[in-house]
Chain A
Amino acid sequence: MSVEFRLITGRTREQAIGLHKGKASQPYLDATHQVEMSGEDMSRVGIDEGARVRLRTPAGSGEFVVREGDLPPGLLFVPMGAAANELIGADTAGTGMPSFKGQPVEVEPA
């Protein structure tokens, strides 16, 4: 069963520290392949901390490791990077800026 959420992406310290070591480095890959979700949503989807989930949008999909985060129900956070951008569409509404925050996204256990 898939459940629909809103996705926001952004900077984390782990992502920033990892990028200096190279975007093929394990610290960077670990930092950018995780999704934060509220505990309430983890129960709703039926997954535990450290589980793998597939996030899917009309632009693409990808696998991420679940971390419990301090987020309101219905909201997901993925650190910025190539993994997150698999999920982001290229429409910029005439501004040049894609929808890096607020993108509807489906979640299903991987």
Chain B
Amino acid sequence: MTTHEDVTCTFCGCLCDDISVEVEDGDIAAVKRVCANGRGVFAEHCSDARRPTVGGREVDFDEAIAEAARILDQADSPLIYGLSSSATEGQRKAVELADVLGAVVDTTSSVCHGPTGLALQEIGEPSCTLGEVRNRADLIVFWGCNPSASHVRHFGRYSVTAKGTLTPRGRQDRTVYVADVRPTGTSKTADHFLQLRVGSDYEVLSTLRLLVRGESVSAEEVGGVSVAELGELAERMKSCRFGVAFMGMGLTMSAGRNVNVAELFSLVAELNDHTRFSVIPMRGHGNVAGSDQVLTWLSGYPFAVSYARGYPQFGPGEFTAVDMLARGEADAALILASDPVAHFPRAAAERLAAIPTIVLDPCENLTAGVARVVFPTATYGVDAVGTAYRMDNVAIRLRAVLPTERPTDEQVLEAIIQALPKRAAQLEAVK
């Protein structure tokens, strides 16, 4: 039996890198320190030597590559989507494929923190690392997120109960606020719970900005919260040593979307006139932060990028996957490490069954069930090495605990690129 220490779990944006994995007879026998959400990454891993399929029929790797290349080459408006559960190595190869094809590339960010990206472009992102939170933060605000269900070890490793240099007593050294529309496991851990009416985040955040500026507010209640409570929070925010706001889908998926997030980012930026304050989006998929990083460093934009004109164009609402699919604009799709048939509105999901779709994923999922070509791939962090970005944009190396028996995303995508007639023509033109 071999024990691998300091293994990284890729389930969520916490990227906990202290996991212990015991391997016996070529299989994972035990996993320690992993949370309930992440246990399946290892315990239910998909690494049996399955072959690719075309039209549901098992084929050789080269035949599947040829069919995928044919589909993408013949498409007028191909869509490449997903990326967030791949490693940066696979992500940058997906962007290269989009560039060669003149395709649109979009990531799960667009149905996650895409609106956060829009707010970031408008306001900037006053941010910090989770290490700084752990060691320094004495005021934590969770806004529209529920890490007790989605990021289970966040409290212990980084925020609520973590003990650090200036927070040696952990929970006792911190004040915790939660703002949400319903009580959650997270609100039950808080010192103060602000229960908002649905869709009122913008009004409450605007009121907080006024109170932080010292303006008077004549209303007694805003968005279901008393102004007196908001005034108390405003004073705590201004007087804390180091405050951090963690924000989630409650802001990005509700009416207002990016405008809600921009209001929070503005509040945090203004708080830095009084003390030190940061904001960190609670990123879902293990490397969704990496997909933003990779697309931004290669194209200048974090998601919704079209290479159709030969240069990158940014178009939320136009080049985002839900919009392209629901409007019937994509005539072929390559889905990398995600499951949009499970996670898109039906009108968009149905389009994937109507067009030739290629899926790269370690496990069988609902999108693979409607796909023309399916490549079972290695899992970065289990049987392939790679790099992922934590929710605070710190790069973490992913180790492999099992031997790699399947091709990685990067290898499949490179093989497709090499098989494209368009790529051959480009190389010929360079000569």
A interface residues with partner B (beta carbon < 8 Å): 6, 8-13, 16-17, 19-23, 59-60, 69-72, 75, 77, 80-82, 85-86, 88-90, 92-102
* Chain A minimum-CB-distance residue to B187: A70
B349 CB-CB contact with A under 8 Å: yes
> Does the CB pair A23–B106 fall under 8 Å?
no
* CB contact under 8 A between A96 and B317, given known A13-B37, A85-B346: yes
> Does the CB pair A90–B347 fall under 8 Å?
yes
* Bound: A72/B229 CA distance, A: 19
Cβ of B321 to closest chain A Cβ, rounded Å: 7
> Does the CB pair B182–A17 fall under 8 Å?
no
B23 CB-CB contact with A under 8 Å: no
Instruction: Give me the 8 closest cross-chain CB pairs, A-B, nearest first.
Output: A20-B40, A96-B320, A94-B317, A90-B326, A96-B110, A20-B44, A16-B37, A90-B347
> Does the CB pair A90–B118 fall under 8 Å?
no
B interface residues with partner A (beta carbon < 8 Å): 11, 36-37, 39-41, 43-44, 106, 110-111, 114-115, 118, 146, 149-150, 152, 181-183, 195, 198-199, 249-250, 252-255, 257-258, 284, 303-304, 316-317, 320-323, 325-326, 339, 341-349, 363-366
**Could you jot down 25 A-B contacts, CB within 8 Å?**
A6-B198, A11-B146, A16-B36, A16-B149, A17-B39, A17-B40, A70-B182, A72-B181, A72-B195, A81-B342, A86-B346, A90-B322, A90-B347, A90-B348, A92-B320, A92-B323, A94-B316, A94-B317, A96-B316, A97-B111, A97-B320, A98-B345, A99-B253, A101-B253, A102-B198
* CB contact under 8 A between A96 and B345, given known A10-B249, A72-B181: no
* Chain A minimum-CB-distance residue to B37: A16
Cβ of A15 to closest chain B Cβ, rounded Å: 9
* Bound: A10/B181 CA distance, A: 12
* Chain A minimum-CB-distance residue to B42: A20
* Chain B minimum-CB-distance residue to A62: B346
Cβ of A45 to closest chain B Cβ, rounded Å: 18
Residues of A within 8 A of B37 (CB): 13, 16-17
Neighbour of B111 across the interface among A21, A72, A93, A100, CB < 8 A: A100
Interface centre among A89, A96, A97 (most CB of B within 10 A): A96
Neighbour of A96 across the interface among B106, B181, B346, CB < 8 A: B106
* Bound: A9/B254 CA distance, A: 10
> Does the CB pair A90–B345 fall under 8 Å?
yes
Neighbour of B40 across the interface among A11, A19, A82, A88, CB < 8 A: A19
Residues of A within 8 A of B252 (CB): 97
* Bound: A71/B252 CA distance, A: 20
> Does the CB pair B115–A95 fall under 8 Å?
yes
> Does the CB pair A97–B114 fall under 8 Å?
yes
Neighbour of A88 across the interface among B255, B303, B345, CB < 8 A: B345
Neighbour of B41 across the interface among A20, A81, A82, CB < 8 A: A20
Neighbour of A80 across the interface among B257, B317, B325, B343, CB < 8 A: B343
Cβ of B381 to closest chain A Cβ, rounded Å: 14
Cβ of B75 to closest chain A Cβ, rounded Å: 21
> Does the CB pair B317–A93 fall under 8 Å?
yes
Residues of B within 8 A of A86 (CB): 346
Cβ of B330 to closest chain A Cβ, rounded Å: 13
Residues of A within 8 A of B106 (CB): 96
* Chain A minimum-CB-distance residue to B150: A11
* Bound: A92/B252 CA distance, A: 11
> Does the CB pair B253–A100 fall under 8 Å?
yes
* Bound: A60/B110 CA distance, A: 22
* Bound: A37/B304 CA distance, A: 36
Cβ of A85 to closest chain B Cβ, rounded Å: 5
* Bound: A23/B317 CA distance, A: 28
> Does the CB pair B182–A72 fall under 8 Å?
yes
Residues of B within 8 A of A8 (CB): 181-182, 198
Residues of B within 8 A of A85 (CB): 342-346, 349
Residues of B within 8 A of A16 (CB): 11, 36-37, 40, 149-150
* Bound: A80/B342 CA distance, A: 9
* Bound: A67/B254 CA distance, A: 23
* Bound: A93/B254 CA distance, A: 11
Cβ of A59 to closest chain B Cβ, rounded Å: 6
Residues of B within 8 A of A9 (CB): 253
* Chain A minimum-CB-distance residue to B111: A97
Cβ of A102 to closest chain B Cβ, rounded Å: 5
* Chain A minimum-CB-distance residue to B255: A102
Neighbour of B323 across the interface among A59, A75, A82, A90, CB < 8 A: A90
> Does the CB pair A99–B317 fall under 8 Å?
no
Interface centre among A9, A11, A19 (most CB of B within 10 A): A11
* Bound: A69/B149 CA distance, A: 15
> Does the CB pair A97–B257 fall under 8 Å?
yes
